[in-house]
Every structure is written in C-alpha cells, then in structure tokens.
Amino acid sequence: MKPTLSRFLFLPLAAVLGAGCVVNPNPDEQKDPCDPNPCTQGDKTWCVNEDGNARCLCKQGTIQRPSGVCEPLTTLNCPEHTGDNSEPDDCLTKAVTLASDATTQRHQSIEPVGDYDYFRIDGKLRTVYSVTVEPGAGALMPRLDVFDQGGVWISSQDGRPKAQVGFKARANAPYYVRVSHSPFDPSPATGQYALTLAPVGEDLHGDSSNDATTIVPDVGGSTNPTVTYGRVEYAQDEDWFVISATQGTTYRIEFDTNRVVPALAGFTSDDVKNPFHTWHNSFVEIRADSTTKLYLVMYANEGETGGYGFRVFRYN
C-alpha cells in the first residue's frame, strides 16, 4: 500500500510547476485483469481485482505468513484456547463477521494474556468505516489493527484508553480488524471491551490520480465562485482533485477557514507519486510553467479530520 501523505515533510521551496504531460482523456475501456487468471505461482492462485489491477492472494485453506509464504491453516497459526464465547478467533480465517450495513456493537474480552480477537467486515467499495474499542472491566489498554483482504496491514491505533480507527474499502471485499492489548503497556493485561463498527458513508472524492475529482477554476475576481466541499474522514484519508493547468496561468486555492483547513500536496501528471510541494495554509498560489494536469490532494494535518471547503481561481 502506498504511504499516506501525512508522512511527507512540508517542502520549503516556492510552488512552481515543472514540465508535465497531458493525460489521455479517453483511456481504453478497462478489462478484467483476472481473466485469464495471471496467478499461477505456488499457492498464490486466488486472483482479485483491485482498482483494475490483478492481485494474487493465497488460495483458500491457507494463510499468508509475514515471510509471504502461504501456509496451511492449523492450530499453530490460529491457536485455540478458552476465553470468551467467540473463541477461537485468533486469525483472519476464524474472524467473527460483523454486520457492515449498520452500526454494530459487540462485547468481548482479551483473555488469556496474548489473546487476539479478529473481526471481518464485508466492505463496500468507497464506503468509509469507523471502528471504536472502549475498555471495560479489567486492565486492558486496547489496540486496533486493520488489514485488507490479503492480510496486509493498513493502519492501527493504540487506546488511551479508547482506540478508534477509520478506513475506506477500496474494493468490494472483506476487511479485518484485530483487537489486542497494546504493546505500549508493558503489563500482561487482560480485560473486557466493547467494539463498535459504524459505516460513515461513501467517500465523496477519489484516492488517486485515476479517480480524481475535476475542478474548473473560476476567473479571478468572480463574485459568485464555485465552492467544492469534501471531508477528511480519517487520519489516512486522501481526497484527490485535478485541474487542467495552462502555461503562464496562476491558480489560487482559498479554503473556508470556518471549517477544517486540510494539508495540501501538489502533483503533476508526470509524477503522481512525489509531490512538488506541500502546504498547510488558508490559501495557496501556484503558477504553471507549462500546460499540464495539476493534482491537488487534501489530507489530514497532524491527524485532524472533518469537513472542508475551498474555491479555485485562475489569473492570467
């Protein structure tokens, strides 16, 4: 999974676009990347379609280990022990399925020491989910980890005392949440907890250059400019926007300061992996030195989430 933008440092140089290339506005119709099945190596023969890309996962009845090897499911990699009435649930394949179309709550416990509790969420494409764990009786300091359908870790949160994570389903596929005792607490604690799953709703804007929302800037000085609204749903959320930038034109992005002012990263079509600049300000001005696609990416500043609004003006 690609790193979140919050990991980038704020760059100190002036914001000037470099040379870029125009994206083909009429790409070929996408075909199913799993037909025919390209997954023929070893036990990774299960092909899934993720955003138009083929991904090879371990076949049914096996589980991927940290080394990447597909290992047959046994009690060695999914231990069984006494605890609450949901055991055994110490691995992805034994996860308890949660209803994902409405707010759901479960009461369980981390018992014995070292216990893991896994939950399965059948995610719906583009839907954002919020998971919260609150400790109950006992000394548990909860930790939440989120994994995708291939068992790849997405994010985590350690409770102090409550733990909460958010994530967006990037495919119609199962996602997994793991509850455990936080490693930040050196004591071998156990205890009860309440887990709440809530679907937040569909994310308004895409998470990559391929599904960026198109912005048509207003002429500078417009008295009734268009306002674009969005929401940073969780700490790792990214909202992508694209402008067809013209050489010699200056673009000004103004944020509604009565709402959350997100951090902003700028990319061009010739490099959508590395931002040419990052900001956190109430307004930003960018001058295009060439005709290119300009991508504006909104993300959480120091983990701050919430709704935002902005206007874009062009000056020749």
Beta-carbon contacts of 256 under 8 Å, excluding residues fewer than 6 positions away, are: 227, 308, 309, 310
Query: If one looks up domain 86-202 in CATH, what number appears?
Result: 2.60.120.380
pLDDT (tens digit, 9 = 90+) per residue, 230-277?
999 888 889 999 999 999 999 999 999 999 999 999 999 999 999 999
pLDDT (tens digit, 9 = 90+) per residue, 90-144?
888 899 999 999 999 999 999 998 899 999 999 999 899 999 999 999 999 999 9
| Range 5-23+205-315 classified under CATH 2.60.120.380 | yes
Q: What is the mean pLDDT of residues 160-186?
A: 91
Nearest alpha-carbon partner for 212 in 272, 281, 165, 137? 272
Three-state SS string over the chain comes to: CCCCHHHCCCCCCCCECCCCCCCCCCCCCCCCCCCCCCCCECCECEEEEECCEEEEECCCCEEECCCCCEEECCCCCCCCCCCCCCCCCCCHHHCEEECCCCCEEEEEEECCCCCCEEEEEEECCCEEEEEEEEEEEECCCEEEEEECCCCCEEEEEECCCCEEEEEECCCCEEEEEEEEECCCCCCCCCEEEEEEEEEEEECCCCCCHHHCEECCCEECCCCCCCCEEEEECCCCCEEEEEEEECCCCEEEEEECCCCCCCEEEEEECCECCCCCEEECCCEEEEECCCCEEEEEEEECECCECEEEEEEEEEEC
Domain extents for the chain? 5-23+205-315, 86-202
Which of 40-54, 60-74, 221-235 has maximum average pLDDT?
A: 221-235
76 band by pLDDT with thresholds 50, 70 and 90: confident
23 band by pLDDT with thresholds 50, 70 and 90: very low
Would you say the CATH fold of 86-202 matches that of 5-23+205-315? yes
pLDDT score, position 315: 96
Q: What does the block give as tokens for 181? A: 């005792």
pLDDT score, position 66: 59
In degrees and rounded to multiples of 5, residue 98 shows phi and psi of -105, 145
Residue 181: CA count within 13 A, CB half-sphere? 19
Residue 83 has pLDDT above 90, yes or no: no
Q: What percent of the chain has pLDDT over 70?
A: 90
pLDDT score, position 283: 97
pTM for this model (two decimals): 0.70
Dist. CA 200–CA 21, nearest whole Å? 37
pLDDT score, position 25: 38
